[in-house]
Structure 1
Amino acid sequence: MVHVGDLDLGALRVLASLLETRSVSATARELGRAQPWTSRELARLRELFDDPLFVRTGAALEPTARALALAAPVQELLAHAEALLRPMGKVEAASLRRRFVIGASDYGELMILPALLLTLATAPGVTLQTRFIGDDVDRHLQSGALDLAIAARFATLPGLVQHKLLDDRNVCVVSRHHPLANGRLTLADLVACPQVEASPRGVLESLVDEALAARGQKRRVVVRTPHFLTALQLVAKGELLAVVPARLARMGAESLGLAVLAPPLDLGGFALHLSYREVARTDPELTWLREQVMAAASASSA
């Protein structure tokens, strides 16, 4: 049986890192420790939890069910420990030293990161790590695995807060060589043309489908991908159509040779939201980061 006195933050950091890297050597590098020390800590964790925790499969370590069950509570404990040790007060960007973890779709990254990185030039000690978000973004936020998320609005779990960053409208894109590229897109065209859909959270029925259903119509989606950029690449290299946010469509028109078409009916919009934990309001460094994200969103909307 594990007793609280047997655990320390160093061991928990090793466990959290191993769950992410699946490698003893990578964890040692991340924590700035020697590999033998990391191996000893893993052996101690195995003894404490009476479980292998990780099983070698080829070159990687695969977590056991017990290790996976520990992931969220360990992240939360580490986040609380960091909050306890972090001094309160005004944040000086130039002296800030912290790695922030942001959950985002590729659309969120493209809309926010360019302007955000310009702001972060004044904070050389800050590192951003983005992670792709799926349908479990709320749980990753609640557990503290993510500092914040930049994504479409979702039904939040208790303790989470959301603020709108920017609005976008849905438009249609095809390759410039597509038969529909130079004409006016009709409802019949939209329904008949095979489509690729970008759905970062894996939602099968979107606003587009709802708008068509209200007209008694249904489109033909042949590929669904969680990545907007993958959808644009597939459109550029084939005969597919995609419905995407207008800002992203303009980028694709310039870089991939896409034609942007006005939809024949209102296909809804796309609102990007900033989501974070309520408890993070008391963390001045996270408050500073949120302010920079909101400023970056304003710059992107200008």
Structure 2
Amino acid sequence: MAKKLLQHGVLCLLLVPVLAPFIWMVSTSLKPAEEIFGAPLRLIPQQLAAAENYGRALFDVPMLSFMLNGLIVVLGILVIQVTVALFAGYALAKLTFRGRDLFFGLVLLALCIPIQVPALPLYLVLAELRLLNTYFALILPFMFSAFAIFLFRQFFKGYPEEVLQAARLDGMTEFEIVLRLILPGARPAIAAFSVFSIVAHWNDLYWPLIAITSMERATPPLGMVLFRDSALSADYGALTAGAVIITVPLLVLFVLAQRQFVRGITMTGLK
């Protein structure tokens, strides 16, 4: 009992520096301007200005439009990534073909290449095709996820070979096997990867900052950067309120997918 209390105590202490910035962000979003930098600093505001701060964050700038853009982009990326990784991961895990090991090696190599490496060639191609400032420009670099292929391959490695052989004897094609047998059982892996993908691309600032130059297609992080060109540039209460608004959907997503997320990670061997 004492050991468990000690472990939980240490975890709580380690949790403090992680949660402190988010707690202070929420606190700042509730304060009027004169209290944000007033002395002494207080975590709990003496006067609440939540309605004013959140109202300006939502309606003085197109925050809802930013979030809609972000939703379209992350869902578009996720659907394509999962579709590609589902079939590629199954092929690498359960099919035998020439060049399979080489292909898997290329997948592992791709895991080591950051987005900054192909960013310039992609930008030049999109500029030449006049596709900048579009949803396609935001989705294109992330259509194929080496991490998703690796994750699904690890998950499918544990699928019983006897079930697949029985399905083939019954006349099912490999395409039908993936859709009717593999896909229903792959929900934990899909949920785990979905959390990784949505969080990464919802929070991504690097590529939208390159591919998007107007507020019409700005994603939430880029929209926060564009605040500096608006009337809210020095309104830290509204700015932190905007930060809270774009953070809450990620927290809700993780809470809803927590069980499947943990199960998917443990079943794929990524510990």
TM over 0.5: no
Higher relative contact order (CA closer than 8 Å, sequence separation 6+): 2
Scaled by the length of structure 2, what TM-score is found?
Answer: 0.23
